[in-house]
Amino acid sequence: MRLLNTKTLELEDVGAEPGSYAIVSHTWGQDELLFADVNNPERLQGIRWKNTNGYRKVAKACETALKQGFKYVWIDSCCIDKTNSAEVSEAINSMFGWYRDASTCYAYLSDVTVRQDGALENFESSRWFTRGWTLQELIAPDDVEFFSRDWEPLGMRSHHSVRIGRITGIPEAVLTGRERSKRRRNNLAQLLYQENIATRMSWAAYRETTRREDMAYSLMGLFGVNMTILYGEGDGAFLRLQEEILKTAQDQSMLIWRSPLVAEESESKRRMHYFADSPKHFNLRTFGGQEDPNRFSMTMTVRGLEVRVWKCRCRVTYSTRNGGTEQGKEDGQWLAVLDCSLSSDTLARAAILLEASAGGGIAFRRLHPNVIMIVEPKRSGFLMADGDMPGYRCKIQSVEYDPGDLKKETIILESAQDGPLARGVFPFKLSLPPNKSSIQQRAAYTGARRYISSEHIAFVSVDNPIYGVVFLNAGRGREFLIWWGLVELGSAMSLTHDDRGAPRLWDNSIPVCFVQSWSNLTGKTDFHAELADQLAGDVLNEELRLPWSTGSTPKVVDVDDGLDLGPPARSERPMIPSSVIGLFTQRSQPVVESVCSGIKVRATMRRAEFLGRLACELEVEVVENNY
């Protein structure tokens, strides 16, 4: 752990047991004092002379901590080297513990002032209460001391607990429970455990983060899990978070989420996972279950999520826009009652609607994920929808069922997505001529992401055509890399399986291959494994804009080796290729040839079929040229 000395404003490594320190919670501005600034005395002196907002924030935090007797203070903006991906990953996974173990926490509210009469201006509307990272920073410390824009003390979390609870939805017991306990830090885990998963998720439902992935990473500490940090995966991070939580908790409130409504014509094409896409979908107050979790468990399987529920057939009635009603299917609609409640009435239970999977058996998919039903004894057999919203051609009016038909059963919840974006396995091999032994493979990476749909495994598209990276050395300091994959044209992969479920890898897709010299891409001549690993992650995870418009067919382009890594005008995309080295579009056996650093590269992509299975195979041949 790296801390800032409150006297010298110098960074010091204090190891795994830092002792007593203060910690700062804040929202980022435009001129934050960064690690590189503090680590460079000359640069720091210039910033001190300019007296920027970022510098004043850090200086006042150190001054406050020093007055309270602390030698060290921690603040994320300058205590983490954000150019070091390994350090960033370690810090994100450790951050909840750092805030929990701090002797005190200063919450700096840069948009809050104190009026002459002592009243707080903008406290409840402060941006600090809307950011994702500040949620754990509010909860983890033993207590939090708030400060205004001018570093005037505003009081402790325990003093404002009722007000903060009203702002955030966090129960007062979570905010003050440790102050009433002699074993305060040991009590934190117990306080959080008393709130079920959906309730803890609801605390983040109205918060935002700059990067989508951080919405998941900022919640790890609240659920006691750790994850690999993968920027570029988007909402996949939140799905991974829920998978990690499931490994440690048998809590069916994880299924009490509501997705936003979309236009009916697009409903069948959107992804409907059994897990939520975002904490925003957990916007309902829930209460814990009453049953034995061993009898109402949840388990991830190859086919989907195995859940023990009360289940029976039901009949859905819809109200139409013209004032009439419309009945749902005679068969195929089911009600699943979960071990969780949406009210203080422990007999009332939350329920979701299901439809039978095409595979039949115990496999089901969630029906109308924008709706949560409430099963109550006083209205047994007739349900009203909670959370249903206008916007559909049909709106759920009621659900009828026979209470006597409810039985405890184990079902499989599948991910419901029409036409999963199958990419195949994409195995590839590097073929090197025997007389060119100087050519070596340095490293190779693949970037497909799996998800489970029905009874087969498919690979999810993240709007990135690149699915593999291989690093090669051709001697005499010639290092280069090849990116390869398939490019979708228009609605390229909307139907990626035939009637028998076999993947259709070549429909409406174009094979593509980029070749780049190592020196041009990194500015270095020697190969570094750690840099290659980081670079491959960037290539595979970042969205790449290709130099042709959606729906148009690209032509063969021959240009000089080079990438413009800077964002173009009116765009914030981080990596923009300025050249396609070579590209051919034959469907049967595409061949790509290009020249880079005096090396001619020939890449062949072909279909590979064996015993009914179809895959995509890339064969790369490197031939030294007389350039």
- CA angle 102/107/109 to nearest 5° reads 165
Burial 50-75 (b: 16+ CB within 10 A, else e): eebebbebbbbbbebbbeeebbbbbb
CA nearest 620: which of 597, 590, 579, 598?
Answer: 590
For residue 556, which amino acid is it?
Answer: V
- pLDDT bin (cut points 50, 70, 90) of residue 9 is very high
Q: Is the pLDDT of residue 560 over 50?
A: no
pLDDT of residue 370: 83
Torsion of Cα atoms, 566 then 570 then 576 then 578, to 10°: -90
Q: Is the pLDDT of residue 133 over 90?
A: yes
For residue 558, which amino acid is it?
Answer: D
pLDDT of residue 541: 57
Distances in whole angstroms, Cα of residue 522 to Cα of each of 88, 485, 538, 624: 21, 22, 12, 22
> In the structure encoding, which two tokens stand for residue 524, read together?
């270095």
Q: Is the pLDDT of residue 4 over 50?
A: yes
- pLDDT bin (cut points 50, 70, 90) of residue 301 is confident
Q: Alpha-carbon Rg of the chain, whole angstroms?
A: 28
Q: Is the pLDDT of residue 592 over 60?
A: no
pLDDT of residue 312: 92
Burial environment of residue 291 by CB neighbours within 10 A (0 to 12, 13 to 18, 19 or more) = middle
Angle between the 41-50 and 53-67 helix axes, to the nearest 10 degrees? 100
The C-alpha atoms of residue 133 and residue 287 are separated, in whole angstroms, by: 25
pLDDT of residue 585: 31
pLDDT of residue 514: 65
Range among 420-424, 441-445, 537-541 with highest mean pLDDT value: 441-445
The C-alpha atoms of residue 597 and residue 607 are separated, in whole angstroms, by: 30
Range among 138-147, 391-400, 596-605 with highest mean pLDDT value: 138-147
Q: Is the pLDDT of residue 523 over 70?
A: yes
> In the structure encoding, which two tokens stand for residue 245, read together?
């939580």
The C-alpha atoms of residue 222 and residue 596 are separated, in whole angstroms, by: 49
Q: Tell me: the pLDDT tens digits for 314-370? A: 988 887 777 777 777 666 789 999 988 877 777 888 899 998 887 678 899 998 888
The C-alpha atoms of residue 495 and residue 418 are separated, in whole angstroms, by: 8
Q: What are phi and psi of 63, to 5 degrees?
A: -60, -45
Where does 371-487 have alpha helices with state H?
Answer: none
For residue 592, which amino acid is it?
Answer: V
| 3-class secondary structure, 534 | helix
pLDDT of residue 359: 66
The C-alpha atoms of residue 209 and residue 191 are separated, in whole angstroms, by: 25
- pLDDT bin (cut points 50, 70, 90) of residue 588 is very low
Q: Is the pLDDT of residue 373 over 70?
A: yes
Kindly write down the DSSP assignment for every residue of 44-103, as one continuous string: HHHHHHHT-HHHHHHHHHHHHHHHTT-SEEE-HHHHS-TT-HHHHHHHHHHHHHHHHH-S
For residue 486, which amino acid is it?
Answer: L
The C-alpha atoms of residue 153 and residue 145 are separated, in whole angstroms, by: 7
What proportions of the chain, in percent to the nearest 5, are helix, strand and coil? 25, 30, 45
Decide if 213 contacts 270 (C-beta within 8 A).
no
The C-alpha atoms of residue 314 and residue 312 are separated, in whole angstroms, by: 6
Distances in whole angstroms, Cα of residue 541 to Cα of each of 446, 463, 467, 535: 11, 10, 9, 10
pLDDT of residue 18: 86
Q: Tell me: the pLDDT tens digits for 202-236? A: 999 999 999 999 999 999 999 999 999 988 788 88
pLDDT of residue 571: 36
CA nearest 410: which of 547, 305, 269?
Answer: 305
pLDDT of residue 388: 42
Element (H, E) at 337: strand 333-337
End-to-end CA distance of the chain: 51
pTM of the model: 0.67
CA nearest 411: which of 350, 349, 355?
Answer: 355
CA nearest 440: which of 496, 480, 490?
Answer: 480
Q: Is the pLDDT of residue 82 over 80?
A: yes
